[in-house]
């Protein structure tokens, strides 16, 4: 995924690089979920993604949820 490659190459030039999506929570409200692309483990997982299903899984496992 392009953002992961960008974060690996240029992430140090920014305060943070995040992949963000809005999801509907169990409470029925929309919440933001973030992947911190400065985290090497997360960045490596995102680089290997080839489908939306895989991206959903990464967000579920490693995403930081905003309440």
pLDDT at 51: 95
Q: Is the pTM of this model over 0.95?
A: no
pLDDT at 12: 86
Q: What is the pLDDT along the chain (67 residues), one digit of tens a residue?
A: 788 989 988 888 888 999 999 999 888 999 999 999 999 999 999 998 999 999 999 999 999 998 6
Are 58 and 46 within 8 A, CB to CB? yes
Torsion region of 28: left, alpha or beta (phi above 0 gives left; psi -120 to 50 gives alpha): left
Look at residue 55 and give its three-state secondary structure: helix
Q: Which domain holds residue 38?
A: 2-65
Q: What total number of domains does the chain contain?
A: 1
């Amino acid at each position: 995924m392009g953002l992961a490659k960008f974060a690996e190459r240029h992430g140090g030039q920014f305060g943070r690089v995040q992949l963000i999506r809005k999801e509907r929570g169990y409470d029925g409200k929309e919440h933001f979920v973030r992947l911190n692309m400065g985290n090497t483990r997360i960045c490596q997982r995102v680089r290997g993604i080839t489908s939306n299903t895989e991206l959903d899984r990464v967000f579920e496992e490693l995403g930081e949820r905003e309440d």
